[in-house]
Amino acid sequence: MNVIAERTGRHCLPLPSNRLGLYLALRHWCTPGQRLLMSPISADEILFLVLAAGLRPVIAPLSPRDGNIDASRVDLSTVDAVLTTNLYGLPDDAPAYAGKILIEDVAHAMETSIGGRPVGTFGQAAVFSLSKHPAAGSGGVLAVERESDLRALARARDELLAPGSLKADLISVATSMARQAALKLGLVRPALALMRALGMQEEREGYRIALDPEQLTLALKEAPELPPFDPWVRADLHDYRARRGRPALWYQSRRLAKVAADRGRRLAGVARLAGLPTVAPAVRDHLDQPLFRVPLLVRDRDAAIAELERHGVATGYLYDPPYDDYAPDFTEASPDPAPARWWARHVLPVDPSYVHRSFPVLRDLEPPTERPCGSSGGTPSAL
């Protein structure tokens, strides 16, 4: 946690997960009923956290250059607050939202900067994940500017924490260590098969967890209470608000300390992937950023995923379909959903740390033949 405090210059609150931090920030700075601008492309649980906070999700138009909110096409006068995503580590245009309540989701962007200023220092609050760059399996940090907010958020956190256990901590640490070993040894396929057989991954409809509109409607009647939304928010991390003990905290600290040492390898991977014709154009604008994933835009994404798994490379963090199509009855639709649909259908996020293993597959992939209709970006190569 000290690493994040030093990077941001902010007061930091340790959490069992990024998810709990986002909910706490939304509840603290926003009022139920307010309109929150958010990207159409993000993790399932993020949408449910916004709903749990009693807010109205207003889905923004998406920029096919980077998969983030297209700030140039947003009317900020119609919303009360903004939640950025910083997808795969590519930064949202945080300065464009000055004057609005701004909550920064920095899960993918722990080491990303805008003009030399760290992402996570632009808004009222920023929420980091220790399961992404540090690969600690769990853990989050909420960074805020004012100590008075920190104290209030700590009280709210403690009210929501569920009891933890030594057994759960040890299992969490062991599972994370096993994942890291599988990645390094190229044992992704058997590891994925074992996780699915043991029920360690939530069942999905395509790439999204089942929405269950009737149950979600009932949960909305209890918003802004969080527990009724647990069936959705806890996907693949059932103890997302369980108190962590010493083994988990030790492991999180150990993994966080290794992030800086991995920077050079990530940067080298980003540079190599940026030369591919399929790379998302914004990647070439951020060669100095050690991205969490490098988004490629490819013709046959599912075939590419299967081939990568055969080469011992896992692919995750796919958010398809966009919120407009995933939960139309619970969101205010984007004024232009086509670019998000195109992006969600074609994006292939690649870990730059393992580019040596994935490149033989990636170099042969072809870009999509169709354009991201409805966007102002032109052809994919000129986005």
Backbone angles phi, psi at 47, to 5 degrees: -60, -45
The fold of the 262-382 domain, in CATH, is Aspartate Aminotransferase, domain 1 (3.90.1150)
Q: How many CA atoms lie within 13 A of 65 on its CB side?
A: 20
> In angstroms, what CA-CA distances link 8 with 2, 93, 200?
10, 18, 34
Reply yes or no on whether the pLDDT at 197 is more than 70. Answer: no
Q: What is the pLDDT of residue 190?
A: 62
Mean pLDDT of the chain: 92
Reply yes or no on whether the pLDDT at 380 is more than 90. Answer: no
Reply yes or no on whether the pLDDT at 191 is more than 90. Answer: no
Instruction: Render pLDDT for 158-182 as a digit per residue (tens, 0 to 9).
Output: 999 999 999 888 888 888 887 777 7
Q: What is the pLDDT of residue 2?
A: 86
Task: Please tell me the distance from the alpha carbon of residue 344 to that of residue 365, in angstroms, as a whole number.
Answer: 17
**Residues β-bridged to residue 297:** 347
Q: What is the pLDDT of residue 196?
A: 55
Share of the chain above pLDDT 90, in %: 83
Instruction: Render pLDDT for 199-256 as a digit per residue (tens, 0 to 9).
Output: 556 778 899 999 999 999 999 999 999 999 999 999 989 999 999 999 999 999 999 9
**Residues β-bridged to residue 337:** none
- Separation of CA 134 from chain center: 14
Reply yes or no on whether the pLDDT at 82 is more than 80. Answer: yes
Q: How many CA atoms lie within 13 A of 268 on its CB side?
A: 10
99 within 8 A of 123, measured Cβ to Cβ: no
Instruction: Render pLDDT for 269-310 as a digit per residue (tens, 0 to 9).
Output: 999 999 999 999 999 999 999 999 999 999 999 999 999 988
Find the radius of gyration of the CA atoms of the chain: 19
Share of the chain above pLDDT 70, in %: 92
Q: What is the pLDDT of residue 379?
A: 37
Cβ neighbours around 249 below 10 Å, total: 16
Instruction: Render pLDDT for 328-378 as a digit per residue (tens, 0 to 9).
Output: 999 999 999 999 999 999 999 999 999 999 999 999 999 999 888 655 444
pLDDT band at 115 (very low <50, low <70, confident <90, very high): very high
Looking at 54-58, 310-314, 343-347, which range is the least confident one?
Answer: 310-314
